[in-house]
């Protein structure tokens, strides 16, 4: 996943602020400074206005299609009640390899909420990685795996060899 913030030391601490998270999202989403409608792609947009339930989130209106949208529309954060700072924290913890239960304790939120966020982020990463193809010389190590031994024991184990055969069917 492409990093949304640069390498400053205080970057992570600043992302715990909701306003800073929305500024990072806007800068990443509209890096050229032109706000485009996520529905029709046109740049004829009025706004920004603040959203009543979230002062840091901006709302816009498209002249072309007449639809309204906000900073989250068309992203993985759309239709989510989690604050944007919680989403950024989940992305950070997923990159660190934390489990869903650890993420749920860290945010704090319900386990199922954390599971939904983690699944959305991982599915998005999979979609981004699908277009990548291996090229050049690729080296693969070979393995040899045996199967069929009872309880995973080697064939020369006396317990496995002297064991009576199991009886099947009626006795």
pLDDT score of 74? 87
pLDDT score of 111? 94
Percent of the chain with pLDDT over 70: 75
pLDDT score of 162? 61
Whether the ω angle into residue 27 lies within 30 degrees of 0, i.e. cis, is no
Query: Are 70 and 94 in a shared domain?
Result: no
Residues 6+ apart with CB under 8 A from 4: 24, 25, 28, 88
The average pLDDT across 131-142 equals 81
pLDDT score of 116? 94
Tens digit of pLDDT for each residue in 2-36?
444 444 445 566 667 888 888 888 888 888 888 88
User: Cα separation of 130 and 165, whole Å?
Assistant: 48
The alpha-carbon radius of gyration of the chain (Å, integer) is 26
Whether 117 contacts 94, CB under 8 Å: no
**pLDDT value at 91 more than 50:** yes
Query: Are 83 and 62 in a shared domain?
Result: no
Query: Are 68 and 115 in a shared domain?
Result: no
Whether 21 contacts 15, CB under 8 Å: yes
Beta bridge partners of residue 62, listed in sequence order = 45
Query: Are 39 and 65 in a shared domain?
Result: yes
**pLDDT value at 105 more than 70:** yes
Beta bridge partners of residue 68, listed in sequence order = 61
**Would you say residue 90 lies in a domain?**
yes
The H or E element containing residue 69 is strand 68-70
Percent of the chain with pLDDT over 90: 15
**Would you say residue 38 lies in a domain?**
yes
pLDDT score of 45? 86
pLDDT score of 160? 53
Tens digit of pLDDT for each residue in 31-85?
888 888 889 888 888 888 887 777 888 889 999 888 888 888 888 888 888 888 8
Count of domains in the chain? 2
**Sign, CA torsion 54/55/56/60:** positive
pLDDT score of 42? 85
HSE at residue 110, side-chain half, CA atoms within 13 A, is 5
Residues 6+ apart with CB under 8 A from 107: 82, 86, 89, 90, 113, 114
- On average, the pLDDT of the chain sits at 79
**By residue range, what is the domain housing residue 96?**
76-130
**Would you say residue 62 lies in a domain?**
yes
**pLDDT value at 150 more than 80:** no
User: Cα separation of 20 and 8, whole Å?
Assistant: 14
**How much is the pTM?**
0.67
pLDDT score of 98? 92
Query: Are 125 and 96 in a shared domain?
Result: yes
Phi/psi at 145 (5° precision): -120, 130
């Amino acid at each position: 996943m492409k990093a949304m913030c640069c390498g400053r030391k205080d970057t992570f601490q600043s992302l715990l602020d909701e306003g800073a998270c929305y500024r990072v999202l806007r800068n990443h989403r509209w890096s050229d400074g032109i706000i485009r409608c996520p529905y029709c792609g046109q740049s004829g947009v009025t706004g920004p206005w603040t959203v009543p339930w979230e002062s840091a989130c901006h709302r816009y209106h498209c002249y072309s299609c007449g639809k309204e949208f906000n900073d989250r529309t068309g992203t993985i954060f759309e239709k989510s009640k989690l604050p944007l700072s919680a989403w950024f924290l989940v992305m950070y913890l997923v990159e660190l390899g934390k489990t869903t239960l650890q993420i749920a304790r860290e945010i704090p939120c319900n386990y199922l909420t954390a599971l939904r966020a983690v699944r959305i982020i991982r599915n998005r990463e999979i979609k981004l990685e699908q277009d990548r193809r291996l090229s050049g010389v690729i080296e693969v190590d070979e393995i040899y795996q045996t199967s069929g031994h009872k309880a995973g024991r080697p064939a020369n184990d006396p317990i496995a060899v002297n064991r009576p055969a199991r009886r099947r069917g009626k006795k």
